[in-house]
Structure 1
Amino acid sequence: MAKVAFLGLGVMGYPMAGHLQAAGHEVTVYNRTASKAEAWVKQHGGAMGKTPREAAEGAEFVMTCVGNDDDLRSVCTGKDGAFAGMEEGAILVDHTTVSAKVTRDLAAIAAGGGIGYVDAPISGGQAGAENGALSVMCGGEEDIFARAEPIIDAYAKICRRLGGIGAGQITKMCNQIAIAGLVQGLSESLHFAQQAGLDGAAVVEVISQGAAGSWQMQYRYQTMLDDEFDHGFAVDWMRKDLDICLTTADEIGASLPVTALVDQFYKDVQRMGGGRWDTSSLLKRLTREN
C-alpha cells in the first residue's frame, strides 16, 4: 500500500480517490473548493490538504484530475503547487485531458526535481469512475509506469502504456475523435428513425446487434430518445478536447474533417444553452431544426 495524494475531486476524481482509499492506500485529497474535500474525507476517511503542496507532502504518488492546461499548471507549479511538496523519487500521475505540450513541459519540470511523470488521461465517463472500470491510456518511461500501474489499477478496467511522455494524451485525442463521429452518427440515425415514424428504441434493438452497435448506442440511445442530456461528459469539456485535437492535427499534418464539423455542431449546442448537457445532446440540435 502507498501514500497517495489526489488533486481534483470532480465527477471523475471524487470516486477515483475513493477507490484508492478502499484499496487500502493512505489518501490525502485536495480540491479547489474545500467543502468538496471535506465531504470526501467525511465519506471515505483519509485526510485533506489546504493546498496541492500540503496534500502532496510525503506522498509516493500524486494523482491529478482537474479541468484543463491552466488548471494543471496551477496545481503542479508555484510555491503552493504539488511539485514543491513532492520528494525526489515520487511520481505524478496526471489523469486530466490536456495538450501534449503542457504534458511535456510539466514532465520536464518534474524531471528537474527528480520526480517521475506519467500522463494518464481516462475514458469511461462518470459511471466508469464510480464502478472502477476506466480505460487509462498512459505515456511515460517504462520503469516509472511500472511503479504507477498498480496504483492506477484501483479504478482501471484497462491500463496501458502507449509510449513516452505525451503518448497518453495523443491516445486520448484518438478516443475523442472517434467518439465525436460516433455520437453524430447515432444522433442522425435516431433522428432519421423518428422522422420516418419508427419506434427509435425498436430500431436500436435490431441494429445494435449488428455492425452499427457501439458503447454510445448501448448506453446513450434511451436517454437521447427521452430528451435527457445530463448523463455524462459535458459539451463544454468536449469542445475543449476537440480544440486540442484540431490544434494538434495542424501541428502533425493530420486531416480531421469530420471532427472539425462535429466541433461546430457542438458549438451550435452551446449557443442553444447546452454547454453543460452531455455529448449525446447532438440529437437536440437536429430535433430543434424540425
Structure 2
Amino acid sequence: MKVSFIGLGVMGFPMAGHLTKYGFDVTVFNRTHTKAQEWATQYQGKAVSTVEECVKDADVVLLCVGNDDDVRSMTTSELGALRFMKAGSVLVDHTTTSASLSEELSQAAQQVQVEFMDAPVSGGQSGAENGVLTIMCGGSQPLFNKLQPVFNAYGKSSVLMGEVGQGQRAKMVNQICIAGALRGLSEGLLLAQESGLDIANLVNCLKNGAAGSWQMENRAVTMSENEYDFGFAIDWMIKDLGFCLDEASKHGLNLAHTKQTYDDYVTLAAAGDNRMDTSVLHKAVQKTAKQ
C-alpha cells in the first residue's frame, strides 16, 4: 500500500514515521520543504516538493494540518490533493476541524471517485511519538475496516463514531472534557496550595481514585510550579473550543463552563501566553479566585 502524508507538525512528523516502521511505502509533503527533507532523512521515506507529486500514486492520503482553511488549501484548492488523487484512493483527514468541513470534503471527494474519512486524533505529541493515539472516525464501516492497518501504525485505539462528521463531533466532546478536567484541577490545586498540601504527594494519593485523570497525573505538579510550556498550544485549543461552541449553538445548547474556558484562553493568548499549553488555564483560574 502506498501512503502519502501531508503536514509534518508535532503530530504528523512522528505519525508518518510510524508508517515507515510498519512497512508502508510513504511519501510526504510539508509546506516548509526542509521539514519534509528532515523527515525523509530520519525515516528513510520520500519527500517531495508539491502536493501533486505526493498524492498522484497514493492508495491512501493522510492529512494533519492546522485549521479548516489549511485543510482546504491542501485538498480542494487548484493545487490540492483531490485534483490529483487517483480514482478509488482514500483521503483521511486527521486534522481537528469543523464537522461541516468534513461533510464538505466528503462531497468533494465523491465527485472525483475518492473515499473520505474524518479521523481526528487525541493523545498529544507524546501519543503521536509513542504511536498510541486515539482516533475518532467518521465514515463507512467498510472504509474503516480497510484503514485499520494504517491506523494501527500510530494508534492505540480507533473507533468508528458514525457517518462523516461524527469523528469531528467526538473530538469536540473530547476537548470539552479536557477543558473541564483542567478547570476542576486548577481550582483543586489552588485549595491544595493555600492549605499547604504537598502537591506531588497529593497527586500520588489521588491519581488512582475517582478524581484521577491524565491531566492530574501529567500536569498537576507543573501547574503548581507555574510551568506551562508542554506542547499543545492554546492557540489550537481556542480553535477547537470554538468548533465546540458553534456545534452546541446549532443544537440550542449553552455550554457555560466551556464558554468560560474559551474566554479565559482568549484572554491568556492576548496577554502573550498563546504558545503555552492548555494547562496554563491555571493562571486564569488563579487570577479569578484571588480577586
* TM-score, L = length of structure 1: 0.96
- AA matched with 1:89: G
Partner residue in 1 for 2:284:
285
What is the identity percentage for the equivalent residue pairs of Structure 1 and Structure 2? 47
- AA matched with 2:114: I
CA positional deviation for 1:225 = 2.4
Range with bigger deviation, 68-77 or 143-152: 143-152
CA positional deviation for 1:128 = 0.2
* RMSD, aligned CA: 1.2
SS across alignment from 1:4: strand
CA positional deviation for 1:218 = 1.0
Deviations, residues 184-228 of structure 1 (Å, cap 9, x unaligned):
111111122112222222222222232111111111112222322
CA contact (8 A) 1:121 1:137 kept: yes
Q: State yes or no: 1:223 paired with 2:190.
A: no
Q: Which runs of 5+ in 2 are unaligned?
A: none
- AA matched with 1:168: G
CA positional deviation for 1:108 = 0.3
Q: Which runs of 5+ in 1 are unaligned?
A: none
Q: State yes or no: 1:81 paired with 2:86.
A: no
Alignment of 1:48-197 (within 5 A): 48-197=47-196
SS across alignment from 1:272: helix
Partner residue in 1 for 2:268:
269
Deviations, residues 128-168 of structure 1 (Å, cap 9, x unaligned):
00000000000001112211121111000000111010010
Q: Whole-Å Cα distance in 1 between the matches of residues 96 and 118 of structure 2?
A: 9
Partner residue in 1 for 2:241:
242
- AA matched with 2:127: G
Q: State yes or no: 1:35 paired with 2:34.
A: yes
CA positional deviation for 1:288 = 5.0
SS across alignment from 1:160: strand
Range with bigger deviation, 65-74 or 277-286: 277-286
* TM-score, L = length of structure 2: 0.96
Q: Whole-Å Cα distance in 2 between the matches of residues 15 and 7 of structure 1?
A: 12
Q: Whole-Å Cα distance in 2 between the matches of residues 276 and 159 of structure 1?
A: 29
Partner residue in 2 for 1:44:
43
Q: Whole-Å Cα distance in 1 between the matches of residues 208 and 88 of structure 2?
A: 49
CA contact (8 A) 2:121 2:171 kept: yes
CA contact (8 A) 2:138 2:167 kept: yes
CA contact (8 A) 1:64 1:94 kept: yes
Q: Whole-Å Cα distance in 1 between the matches of residues 245 and 285 of structure 2?
A: 24
CA contact (8 A) 2:183 2:285 kept: no
Distance 1:286 1:254, change over 3 A: closer
CA positional deviation for 1:43 = 0.6
Deviations, residues 30-69 of structure 1 (Å, cap 9, x unaligned):
1111110010001111111212222001000000000000
